[in-house]
Amino acid sequence: MIVLVQATVLTVGLNGNGKNEVLRELPIRLITMQSGTEAARSLKNEKVDSVISKWDLDDMEDGRFLKRLRAVKPEIPTIAFVRAGDRAQEIAARSLGVSAILTDDTSDELFRQTVANVLGLKGILSIKAIRRFAGPAKNKKRRYEIEKITE
């Protein structure tokens, strides 16, 4: 099966919350970084179509990474993950002009839909690999579930 990459997405600080796994279902090239410093360096060498970042990173709190990104590359669509119920973070992210704001407790489906909308992937197929096990490990079967991303 051939899947054509539609965009390159950089995620920052999302390791451990399962959101990167959701992104692997989309036709994108995924670059993952844990720190804002590391991500800033990679932006100098990589052509990135979108950035998804936590508002508070271990090395850059109070949205400092996203603020710097918006100042240097305002044309890159960005999605900010803010703490659920933290109005101050949400207001600060909105004032930055990010493309979308999500909270840590956002469902996988809403997350995937938001990313697809920001990247303009409406109508693109999402491929999910589902493994079924029938008997011993050597008899593994794999089937693919194809889901259309709707508007």
Residues 6+ apart with CB under 8 A from 92: 55, 62, 63
Helices (H), 9-138: 19-23, 36-45, 64-72, 87-96, 108-119
The predicted model scores a pTM of 0.77
Q: Residue 80 above 90 pLDDT?
A: yes
Q: Residue 129 above 80 pLDDT?
A: no
Nearest to 118 by CA among 96, 94, 98, 103: 98
Return the domain boundaries, the chain. Answer: 7-122
7-122: CATH topology is Rossmann fold (3.40.50)
